[in-house]
Structure 1
Amino acid sequence: MNNGRILAAGTPSDLKARTSAQSIEDAFVALLPQRQRRAAEIVDLPLDSDAEPVIVARDLTCRFGDFTAVNRVNFTIRRGEIFGFVGSNGCGKTTTMKMLTGLLPPSEGEALIFGRALEAGNIQARRRVGYMSQSFSLYGELTVGQNLLLHARLFHLHRASVNARIAELVEKCDLADYIDDLASALPLGIRQRLSLAVAVVHRPELLILDEPTSGVDPVARDQFWELLIDLSRNQGITIFVSTHFMNEAARCDRLSLMHEGRVLATDTPAGLIQAKGATDLEDAFISFLEQERPGAVPALTITQARAAGPDLQQEAARRGRAVFSIQRLLAYTLREGLELSRDRIRLVFALFGTAMLMIVFGFGISTDVNNLTFAALDRDQTPESRAYLEELRGSPYFVEKPPIADYADIDRRLKNGDINASIEIPPNFGVDLKRGRPVWVSAWIDGAMPFRAQTIRGYLEGMHQLYLSDPSVKTTQPTLPLPADIEIRFKYNQDFDSVFAMVPSTLAMMLALFPAILMALAVVREKELGSITNLYVTPVTRFEFLVGKQLPYVAVALVNFLVMFVMAIFLFDVPLKGSFPALLVGTVIYVFTTTGYGMLISTFCKSQIAALFGTAILTILPAQQFSGMMTPVSSLSGTAQIIGLGFPMSYYRPISVGTFTKGLGFADLGSSILLLTLFIPVLTIISMLLLREQER
């Protein structure tokens, strides 16, 4: 097929016979219109045997634990040579490339680049080397021109020559029609040429290419090799290229055959073919493999392959007819659980992230105003003024600092934050107090934090009135009795300590934040990796896919709950006064709801970064502002109230706080549990509907 049209159809042998071609790839090129047929000829130019070595590998070895990825590799590559590295996927080619570019340190042996031992931090050596990875390493959010300009600046090309160099590469690599297109939107063949242009923008002497033509069509591959041949023969650049295409390997001056981390042979393509008496390079490679490991290349006949076909098809059809399958759902659950268990960083974040933030929020967020610093300017220096200050010193809310010298000292210390308030007692305070005259005391309060300032004001006014009403203060001024004595008692929290409210509320917020983030990332990760395609090419339904991925994170969230529950009781000393079964049932429903919330957010995101930030913002803000942590939901109005009533934490927080501090059980919390349960089908159904729309 080419440009939406079928060029030809038939068996492979028929197509090769029709075009007189030796391979399907040659047949495809022969069937193309004449204007599209471009082929890079196999290089057959003599090499300078006296050219200096550019790369020398001596017993190069790389181990990962007990696994040896590269085992004692030796080769020499001379200036201007196109040297090929041929082997099957996973044989160690990329690992060797990374050692030669300093991305991986060798376990043993050495690599010499331009006659010097390779050093990962050697900037000067990097200027002489260009590297093109298998994944192209382009910045997808930048245009073609911006990618070239960025790398030109990274290699400090002279400002006057940058535009000329970019124009030269754009013309040579045929990128003019795409100069303003984003790299992420380019066809694979164009992206390949851009990646090569980026790799050579600084005119390197050595070019290392790691499977650069993987996944590219034959025509684009030939065009790419035309560029490589020009770089080698006309510009003298040494090229080290890895590949698993034998027709590409035949274009190299010399090549090494690699298998399971070892080099099997190194020679010219013709020399390797001749050494095995083979008809082509592929047969020669297979012969070297069989020599290394007899029987390593099993053959599978078409008859054998077809024999098992009907039974498998019938079984797949039978299972695919089921509208719902618990087996398919649990298969996704198992896959998600295995992936989570093997990603240790994500697993630690999932299991212990809530505990760490519980400590931060539990100890760090408090509505208690204690340990307020004050200093006094006592301009009276009488027993009465000292007794007045003793009332402050004896208060559990205030801590005294050294006395104030003058008014300038007040301004300086308030400005520096050394004190939160200053007390000025005027002259004749004691005399006026004894004679029954009105007395006044000045208080200077730091108002940078209004809530704290108002609290300090209330403390000082209360202390002032308490001092003046003390019978031990001798005054001639009669004290009028109050019509009634008022005694204040705080039910459920008699000490008025904020930890009894903040810890249960923090538990609710953590169970909203982490499960939602983990669930959103799990779905979006499938989109980024492309594995979500399995949802559309297998009998799996959207419900099975979403719920199957949800269950592991529900289990993780329940583990988080148990950890935070133990911390609340033993670390924060917040006892559970109510029903634990009621709290547990509410928590199970709640984590299904919060993971469903993350599931819903994931349908709008295409990248994990967007999912992470989006879920965090859309969870923390409603949790703190509209779910009762700062302001009761019943006190909200308008849009704020709608947000509060539509967020699951607004219904779970009363369950958490109620069971911990108020001694509530199922009878008291039934309505909250019921309303919380309604979120599960609503969020699941909406997510199912939006998932398909997002992926069309």
Structure 2
Amino acid sequence: MTVRQNLDLHARLFALPPPRADARIAELVGQFDLAPYLDQLSDGLPLGVRQRLSLAVAVLHAPEVLILDEPTSGVDPVARNQFWDQLERLSRQQGVTIFVSTHFMPEAERCDRISFMHAGKVIATGAPAALKQAQNVASLEDAFIAYMELGGRTDAPPALTLATSNAPPTATGFSPRRCGAYAWREATELRRDPVRLGFALLGTALLMLIFGFGITLDVDNLRFAVLDRDQTPESRAYIDSFAQSPYFLAAPPLRDPAALEAALRANSIAFAIELPPDFGADLRADRPSEVLITVDGAMPFRAETILGYVQSVHLQFLEEAARAAGADIAQGANLVMRYRYNQAFRSLDAMVPATIALMLIFIPAVLTALGVVTEKEMGSITNLYVTPVTKLEFLLGKQLPYVALGCFNFLVLVGMALVVFGVPLKGSFAGLALAALAYVLATTAIGLFISVFTSSQVAALFATTLTTMVPATQFSGMLQPVPTLEGAGWLIGTLFPTTYFMRASVGAFTKGLGFTDLLPFAGLTFAFWPVLLLAALVLLRKQET
């Protein structure tokens, strides 16, 4: 490329606005005397001119700090002196801090502060004049030799190392200036990372909204269905008392006990009511009668809450019926509670399968996100930019190891559930394993998607944690059934993979769901993988901008 093209390219790389870029390029062309060479190819320029071009490119965006590694190596003395004159103007007139590594002592002497190094260690630091005075020598080169003889060489006599005490002392106390410099640097890094800055500024407010509206132990809008064997005005009034309660939502009536069982297994209802054939006649005659309530006991806390609500509505119906008849509260209708799944009411039988779902979204998603962001921080993502590797190959290559680790973790978690916690797996292991594979594909795809628009590991970790754990715990059926949620909570729960794997895991462990019963959950969970992968594929750039 020509000198002009080099300057234009780096102006775009530094994201300078066109008007500012043109003005800055014109300024630097005059400052570094590049006008005669603007249309010449850079690789054909004299070495001194190439060094001036490199310096012009380095300061194009007006940096506050400039780091140069032996910038005048191989340059003739005249060009070297001109180059250093330009460095001094940058430092004195524009306030640029410049770090330079050099083997030429006359160059080092032009610096405000220098450090002598040997074998990767600093052996003396200070102003050039102070270092010469400390060793009582006339030149900086003699001072360097003296420091090498005193303490720099590993073969120096041990007693002579005490002579380094003549060097300017190193500050050991607290320095507000140094502390402020680190604070400014950290604030600058935070400002340059919009995701991290956004979470820092608004993260607590966002969590306040999510936990304030999301965390609730209230159980309402519970779906129920009725198997009415009586079909009398009394039975319909009894059903209406539940349908009109703010706690319940009526599902279509059940035809037979098989339909009742199927509805509970499919999680479409939380409990079912069975009314006996002579319910109305028994109620009018105050004869003993039993109303059977079948509750999904997979989640013990929810089942206990349902029991309390049902008893309240039942007693209220009996009171109203007695008041209408002008008699005491009828004693003819009694509730008979029956719990399906987890009849022992052990919380472990419900929480351990749910915890498997939480662990398989948090760890794989975080590891996958960090795997990609680490490449950005280390710079190795340039392999994607400069090689024929496609974006899909890159994403799948980063994902597959964590999918394998996620599957291994699934086996470990199932083994712990069986052996450590004593929770039996009543359903199909093959069906649950298939759902777990689909789930891990989806959760690692979440990590890929988040890694696309985060550039630091801190931001990736925070973003992944927030976007996985909060929906998984609040909106995926762990605390409250998804159908009972409203608005944004219901939408998040419906469009989140944990909802469906949670049903598969709890169903396999507590409800004894077979392979065919688990297939719909596995299919719905798997559907998230291509969608998330496609989103990451579209948003990932093949080249830095």
TM-score by length of 2: 0.49
TM-score by length of 1: 0.39
